[in-house]
Amino acid sequence: MAAETTITTPPHVVFLPYAMASHITPLVHIARIFAARGLRVTVIATTHNALLFQSSINNDRRLVPARNISVLTVKFPSDEVGLPDGVENFAASSSPEIAYKIQHGFFFLLRKPMERLIRELNPQCIISDMFFPWTVDLAEELGIPRFSFQPCSFFTHCVWHRLEEHEPHKKVASDSDDQSFSIPGLPHEIRMKLSEIENYFIGENFFKKILKTIKEAELRSHGIIHNNCYEVEPQYSDMYVKIRGRKGWHIGPTFLFIDELEKSQNLKELTKNVGSDCLNWLERQQPNSVLFVCFGSSVRFSNDQLTEIALALKSAKCPFILVVKEQEDEKVDSTYGDWWQLDCIKEMAADNNKCFIIKGWASQVLIMQHRAIGGFLTHCGWNSVLEALTKLLELLGLGIGVGTDVWNPGFIVTSPVISREKIELAIKRLMFDSDENRNIRANAKLMAEKVKRAAEDGGSSHLDLNALIDEIKCCAN
């Protein structure tokens, strides 16, 4: 009699992304990587947010078994929060009030419909964005592991922890001429100003309560997943594990794994969102000569600040690619983020030799991989860690800080306007030949090599990815 054959069913993992591109993209990347490696994956998202990645999922379904990856949608509670249909991402928030309503909808009102859907799916694992802390309660009830996804750096978490633990900002007089202070207990000497401290370190507020809930949920979770690379900040990665008391898997940058996945797909699918016109324009530029300017999908500067940025770009006299939002609807308050009200932008847009303007979404990865790109002017990612991340980049010798020294409480940037002269000087320091410029490029090249190796066979991120998948499989058995 023939021996019985054991058929192992792959674990079913549910992913819940949040309402920001910086959270959605890497978490969906992880879902796609899991599916390509044989796990069964379901991504649950609101209807309009799902449109941001549905085409990528459809492409994957041509390469992996169709049952391995799927997308299910829930309706965002637009009526309950008082927003028009389709406004369910922070990129669509033109005011703090709208941002708060989106946050309220995701953090509180979507729990029941998402919970109901997860119960019906009966998965073996939940991987949710940090802003869905309630998933730990559901996971405990179902007897399955829950992993929290954290998109920001280990450095940021370590700074937050030391600020909460030692409260050095409370030892500086508010009327002191020198309001800066040193943060104790960190591997490097890090100084901040009182004006840079987030308001939830000063007193009780809504966001502080949210962060407390998130931390409590993570202490009960199976672990925390980071779109990060150990080689970028090894000392802070080690410190983070001790501080949080939870296993952390650093499996980033996720786009490097996605690059490998997409190599087998049609190149047109990869480049259609960049546009052949942009790529052709880049081909006409000299190596390392172009500054890529992109402030993400959610952050909105005042038009006064946009004017200073635009005039600095004009005066710096280096070619640049500028990513801007689509022209705003007339009904939207255009006090913030409306590049198209600026005469200098219209003037520069007409000079195709010096600049290329992309309206709407652009593939940052594909653009920055081009040989012509020599620098990146950005807001440094997740808005609430703006200052800390800027400090990290300067600490690693990878960039030049040009930010304000006043903390900004949301996606609508209301902190003091940075002058065109300051921005222009930073651009010239970054883009034009000097000892500083050469050192930054050398450091960036070295870091790029380290990060790339981390995602290759035997690299730290590659090993952590394998270990995470093995952990999920083990828990499912």
Q: Is 23 a catalytic residue?
A: yes
| Contact by Cβ (8 Å): 77, 101 | no
Asked if omega into 10 is within 30° of 0 (cis), the reply is no
Q: Is 48 a catalytic residue?
A: no
Length of the chain: 477
Cβ burial of 189 (10 Å; 0-12, 13-18, 19+) is exposed
For residue 224 the two structure tokens come to 């925390």
Rounded to whole angstroms, the Cα distance separating 443 from 450 reads 11
For residue 79 the two structure tokens come to 């009526």
CB atoms within 10 A of CB 216: 12
Rounded to whole angstroms, the Cα distance separating 165 from 184 reads 9
Cβ burial of 279 (10 Å; 0-12, 13-18, 19+) is middle
CA neighbor of 135 nearest in space, from 69, 70, 216: 216
Select which of 29, 48, 129, 157 is catalytic.
Answer: 129
| Contact by Cβ (8 Å): 452, 446 | no
Select which of 12, 23, 29, 48 is catalytic.
Answer: 23
**Catalytically annotated residues:** 23, 129
